[in-house]
Amino acid sequence: MKHDVIPVIVKGVMPTSNGCAVFLGDDHKTFVIYVDHSVGNAIQMTLDGVKKERPLTHDLIGHMLTGLGATIDHVVINDVNEGTFFARILLRMENELGKKIVELDARPSDSTVLALQHRRPIFAARKVYDSVEDMTEILERVLRQQNEDTESAEGEGSDDK
């Protein structure tokens, strides 16, 4: 599996007019998956360590997996077709009868939330990684702009005293 997949991390989540852009990648390349607002918020809340008053859907799924004795082994973003990404969640189950790996088809957005919540690795298939456009410069530009906006707003706030 080592050469077929690339480990990736979530490098940023940015709101867009139609949802959120989730930037994934490694030290060499960053790519974007567009997700709806609710999943983008769930990813950002997980990254920020926000405690929720009531379980959300991804929390419920995690509790169900735990109750069934299954753990998330890892997630693979395994395909992309005309801008639509596909993923697989690999579950590990172990009981008195033995060990079992279960592979589930899932949206990359949901897979990412679950992997982050359970601190499990996210991989991109080599064919996906090689085919997507590198968005590293765009992410860096957006982050720089956000930092400048934050510094500007903080500077303005201190003048009001």
DSSP state of 124: E
Segment 133-147 shows an average pLDDT of 87
CA distance 6 to 76: 9
Q: Please spell the DSSP secondary structure of 74-93, one letter per residue.
A: EEEEEEEETTEEEEEEEEEE
Segment 39-66 shows an average pLDDT of 88
Cβ–Cβ under 8 Å, residues 5 and 126: yes
- Per the rule left: phi > 0, alpha: psi between -120 and 50, beta: everything else, 83 is left
SS3 state at 16:
coil
Q: Residue 143: how many CB atoms within 10 A of its CB?
A: 14
Does position 40 have pLDDT exceeding 70, yes or no? yes
Look up the CATH number of domain 5-133: 3.10.690.10
Q: Is the dihedral of CA 113, 119, 125, 128 positive or negative?
A: positive
How does residue 11 score in pLDDT terms, banded at 50, 70 and 90?
very high
Q: Give how far Cα 28 sits from Cα of 16, 75, 129, 134, 155, Å.
A: 24, 20, 10, 9, 34
Domain range list for the chain: 5-133
How does residue 57 score in pLDDT terms, banded at 50, 70 and 90?
confident
CA distance 20 to 23: 10
Q: What is the pTM of this model?
A: 0.84
Segment 5-20 shows an average pLDDT of 94
